[in-house]
Amino acid sequence: MTANFLTIDDLTAAELEAVLDRAERYKREGPPPALGGGTLAMIFEKPSTRTRVSFETGATRLGGHAVFLGPDDIHLGHGEPIRDTARAVSRYVDAIMARLFDHADLEELGRYATVPVVNGLTDDAHPCQTLADLLTIRERVGGLDADVAWVGDANNVCRSLVLGAALLDLELTVATPPAFTVEEAVLDRAADLGRAPETTTDPAAAVEGADVVYTDVWVSMGEEADRERKLAAFESAGFRLTEALLEDQYVMHCLPAHRGEEITDAVIESDRAVVWAQAENRLHAQNALLAHLLEG
């Protein structure tokens, strides 16, 4: 069976560490031509800046190239079933990266494709982001003996971080309003993998003594109908990263950021924010992942 990367725990802990080591090496020395003149298909149902540009430039750096397939470019979503898209596209390309709404659709793509399928974000998970996040934490803190606080919505980025932290035994606390906490199934899976995070509804308690504080938007792509309810819940409970909430922690954000909502302009522009290095690390981490998957 072809190896896919649909969730972070599609890698074992040893494989995840090896991908991070490889990413560090590629960042220092440049990547090898692992795509060997081949092609990466990039299927997008949602918008993207970082994922699109990092995968496309990554494919070039790996000695291949990428084909961008947006929502109106292909028959997917306009009547052609996912399984047919998967089988046809697999006949042309060496790997597929897809950003879809429904995670079950990505699983179907992965089941029918005959080349590796990589999750470029679904409503449930964003494992490529977690690769870059773990790489960034390792670089900044000098290893993974770090205390990380997630402050915000327990969304796709958070779920993948929870499982990545469980795999690599990273100390993680997740602070959310009560209505937006991590699902039991994710906590159970994290415990199975080795370590479930602490959970709290108190952002100040979560950030106290942390090395890294991480946030993301309160309203993810596809949740726009719930926007007012979510903004009210996070705002009233003090979940915005402000200078008053923080001490000297590194601040992470997967981006795009909504300044004035989950983070202030002053915090994201401060020296403690490592968001641009984090964004750059998407490129190195994904190149390492693709090389790992293509080598089989």
Strand pairing partners for 241?
A: 263
As to burial, measured by CB atoms within 10 angstroms (0-12 exposed, 13-18 middle, 19+ buried), residue 1 is exposed
| Residue 155 interacts with ligand NVA (CB under 6 A): yes or no | yes
Select 257 or 294, whichever has its Cβ closest to ligand NVA: 257
Instruction: Count interface residues toward ligand CP (CB under 6 A).
Output: 9
Distance CA 243, CA 268 (A): 10
Piece of 28-36, 149-157, 164-172, 243-251 that binds ligand NVA (CB under 6 A): 149-157
Amino acid making up residue 110: G
Q: Which does 231 bind (CB under 5 to 8 A by kind): ligand NVA, ligand CP, none?
A: none
CA 123 to chain centre: 11
Measured between its terminal Cα atoms, the distance across the chain in Å is 10
Q: Which residue is nearest to ligand NVA (CB)?
A: 220
Contacts of ligand CP in 12-41 (CB under 6 A): none
Task: Report which of 94, 136, 131 is spatially closest to residue 115, judged by C-alpha positions.
Answer: 94
Does position 51 interact with ligand CP (CB under 6 A)? The reply is yes
Q: For 182, which DSSP code? A: P
Does residue 256 contact residue 280 with C-beta atoms inside 8 Å? no
Q: How far is CA 106 from CA 90, 149, 206, 226, in A?
A: 14, 29, 33, 24
Site string for ligand NVA, 198-227 (x = CB under 6 A): ------------------xx--xx------
The answer to whether residues 118 and 141 touch, using CB atoms and an 8 Å cutoff, is no
Put the strands of the sheet holding 65-69 in their side by side order: 65-69, 39-44, 95-99, 117-119
- Binders of ligand CP among residues 128 to 147 (CB under 6 A) are 129
Return the residue matching tokens 């470019």: 73
Query: 216 touches which of ligand NVA, ligand CP, none (CB within 5 to 8 A by kind)?
Result: ligand NVA
Binding track over 160-179 against ligand NVA, x by CB under 6 A: --------------------
88 is an interface residue for ligand CP by CB under 6 A: no
Nearer to ligand CP, 187 or 257 (CB): 257
According to the binding rule CB under 6 A, does residue 292 interact with ligand CP?
Answer: no
Q: Are 87 and 113 in contact (CB under 8 A)?
A: yes
Among residues 49, 60, 242, 270, the one that binds ligand CP under rule CB under 6 A = 49
Active site residues: 99, 126, 129, 216, 254, 282
Binding partner selected for residue 130 from ligand NVA, ligand CP, none, CB under the kind-specific 5 to 8 Å limit: none
> Can you give the binding site for ligand NVA, defined by CB under 6 A?
121, 155-157, 216-217, 220-221, 254
